[in-house]
Chains A and B, each alone.
Chain A
Amino acid sequence: MPAVPRSSTLPALALRRARSFAVPLAGFLLLTALTFLGLLAITFFIGRVVPIDPVLAVVGDRATQEQYEAARQAMGLDRALVVQFVDYVWQVMQGDLGRSVSTNRPVVEDLARVFPATLEMATIGIAIGVALGVPMGVWAAARQGSWVDQVIRVLALLGYSVPAFWLGLVGLAIFYAGLGWVAGPGRIDIFYDGIVPPVTGLLLVDSLIAGDTGIFMNALSHIALPAAILGFFSLAYIARMTRSFMLDQLSQEYVVTARVKGLPEWRVIWIHAFGPIRVPLITVIGLSYAGLLEGSVMIETVFSWPGIGNYLTVALLNADMNAVLGATLVIGAVFIFINRISDVLYRVLDPRSR
Chain B
Amino acid sequence: MQMLRRDWYHDDAPASRFQANAGRFYRAGGLLMRNPLAVLGGAIILLLVLTAAFAPWIAPYSAVGQDLSARLLPPSAQHWMGTDELGRDILSRVIYGARITLMIVALVAVISAPLGLIIGAVSGYFGGLVDKVLMGITDVFLSMPKLILALAFVAALGPGIENAIIAIAITAWPAYARIARAETLTFCQADFIGATRLLGASHGRIILRHVLPLCTSSMIVRVTLDMAGIILTAAGLGFLGLGAQPPLPEWGAMISRGRVFILDQWWVATMPGFAIILVSLGFCFLGDGLRDVLDPKQGGKS
Give the B-binding residues of A (Cβ under 8 A): 34-35, 38-39, 41-43, 46-47, 50-51, 57, 157-158, 160-166, 169-170, 172-173, 176-177, 240, 244, 290-291, 293-295, 297-298, 301-302, 312-313, 315-317, 319, 321, 324-325, 327-328, 331-332, 335-336, 339
Contact = CB atoms under 8 A, between A and B. Distances in A.
B140 A38 contact: yes
Contacts of B255: 163, 165-166, 169
A297 B302 contact: no
Interface stretch (B15-23, B143-151, B291-299): B143-151
Main secondary structure of the interface of A (DSSP, over half): helix
B69 to A, nearest CB: 26
Q: Choose among B252, B273, B276 the residue with the greatest number of A CB atoms under 10 Å from its CB.
A: B273
Interface string B27-42: 0000000000000000
A293 B145 contact: yes
B269 to A, nearest CB: 5
Contacts of A319: 155
Main secondary structure of the interface of B (DSSP, over half): helix
Contacts of A42: 140-141, 144, 149
Contact of B155 (A294, A321, A332): A321
Contacts of A47: 156
A50 B270 contact: no
Contacts of B270: 166, 169-170, 173
A41 B266 CA distance: 43
Nearest to A38: B140
A160 B149 contact: no
B136 interface: yes
Contact of B228 (A160, A290, A313, A327): A160
29 contacts: A38-B139, A38-B143, A39-B143, A42-B140, A42-B141, A46-B152, A46-B156, A57-B156, A158-B277, A160-B280, A161-B228, A163-B273, A165-B239, A169-B258, A170-B270, A172-B263, A173-B263, A240-B302, A244-B301, A291-B145, A293-B145, A295-B147, A315-B155, A316-B155, A317-B240, A321-B155, A327-B148, A331-B145, A335-B144
Given A293-B145, A302-B259, A317 B241 contact: yes
B140 A35 contact: yes
A328 B151 CA distance: 9
B214 interface: no
Contacts of A57: 156
Contact of B145 (A50, A290, A301, A316): A290
Interface of B: 136-137, 139-141, 143-149, 151-157, 228-229, 232, 235-236, 239-242, 252, 255, 258-259, 262-263, 266, 269-270, 273, 276-277, 280-281, 284, 301-302
A161 to B, nearest CB: 3
A163 B236 contact: yes
A332 B144 contact: yes
Contacts of A165: 236, 239, 252, 255
A335 B143 contact: yes
Q: Choose among B156, B228, B236 the residue with the greatest number of A CB atoms under 10 Å from its CB.
A: B156
A207 B232 CA distance: 36
Contacts of B301: 244
Q: Choose among B144, B240, B266, B280 the residue with the greatest number of A CB atoms under 10 Å from its CB.
A: B144
A234 to B, nearest CB: 14
A163 B274 CA distance: 10
Contacts of B277: 158, 161-163, 166
A3 B146 CA distance: 47
Given A50-B157, A317-B241, A328-B152, A35 B139 contact: yes
Contact of A50 (B140, B143, B156, B228): B156
A50 B153 contact: yes
Nearest to A156: B302
B156 A321 contact: yes
